[in-house]
Amino acid sequence: GAGVSQSPSNKVTEKGKDVELRCDPISGHTALYWYRQSLGQGLEFLIYFQGNSAPDKSGLPSDRFSAERTGGSVSTLTIQRTQQEDSAVYLCASSKQGGNTEAFFGQGTRLTVV
Amino acid sequence: QQQVKQSPQSLIVQKGGISIINCAYENTAFDYFPWYQQFPGKGPALLIAIRPDVSEKKEGRFTISFNKSAKQFSLHIMDSQPGDSATYFCAASIGSGNTGKLIFGQGTTLQVKP
């Protein structure tokens, strides 16, 4: 597949557990974004990776959230000690260079914390 | 200053009518303004984008109007069709140097009635 791939597509977890969400960007794309979309809400920026630059973490809502991008490719978003308010769809996108280049989104991971 | 404000939150239009969605921004450093379309259960996809050196861009039935002095831009959907029913997001980024993250508006849910 040539698109952005996210896994799992759905995740149900118990409150207090840690979860890891994975994003495989389009090959060759140097920019990678994570967004959160709550039911009926907009796209909340979480974190932005661009090449070898330090990631822009300004959107992470708390220190329970972290993300890494290994080898400039695959990214993992980790949520520790999940809370019910973390329930949302987590969307990953990648683009050739960030900025004014088209961002391609994955299908998202729907996280439900029970 | 990093916000993009979008209105209306929801919109109902009759088939054949014109749908208009508005966005406003504060950061004058923004220089790339895309619109994304999202269908239920899917990730957003780029619809049309504009840079501030032009006041209007048209692609088929979709037109972006850009007012740099007012720091506003809008999406017009002419001859709206039921298949256009979706959520629309405006966005902005700083494209210079291709390092900018995308900041999204809150989204507009459009329903086109047959």
- Distances in whole angstroms, Cα of residue A68 to Cα of each of A54, A101, B67: 11, 22, 38
Q: Is B94 on the interface with A (CB under 8 A)?
A: yes
Residues of A in contact with B109 (CB under 8 A): 40
Concatenated DSSP letters of A31-76: EEEEEEE-TT---EEEEEEETTSPPB-TT--STTEEEEEGGGS-EE
The pLDDT tens digits of the residues spanning A39-77 come to 777 899 999 998 888 899 999 999 999 999 988 799 999
Q: How far apart are CA A48 and CA A14, in angstroms?
A: 28
Residues of A in contact with B89 (CB under 8 A): 42-43
Strand partners for B89: B36
The pLDDT tens digits of the residues spanning B48-64 come to 999 988 999 999 999 99
pLDDT at B46 over 70: yes
Residues of B in contact with A40 (CB under 8 A): 109
Band of residue B96 on the pLDDT scale cut at 50, 70, 90:
low
Q: Is A53 on the interface with B (CB under 8 A)?
A: yes
Mutate to test the interface with A, among B50, B89, B99, B106 (most CBs of A within 10 A): B99
What is the mean predicted confidence (pLDDT) over B69-79? 97
Q: Is B6 on the interface with A (CB under 8 A)?
A: yes
CA B52 to chain centre: 14
Bridge-based pairing state of the strands A44-50 and A65-69? unpaired
Which 3 state secondary structure label does DSSP give A30? coil
Q: Is B15 on the interface with A (CB under 8 A)?
A: no
Q: Is A38 on the interface with B (CB under 8 A)?
A: no
pLDDT of residue B98: 52
User: Percentage helix, strand, coil, to 5, in chain B?
Assistant: 5, 55, 40
Interface touch A103/B102, C-beta < 8 Å: yes
Strand partners for A88: A111
Q: How far apart are CA A56 and CA A41, in angstroms?
A: 22
Q: Is B51 on the interface with A (CB under 8 A)?
A: yes
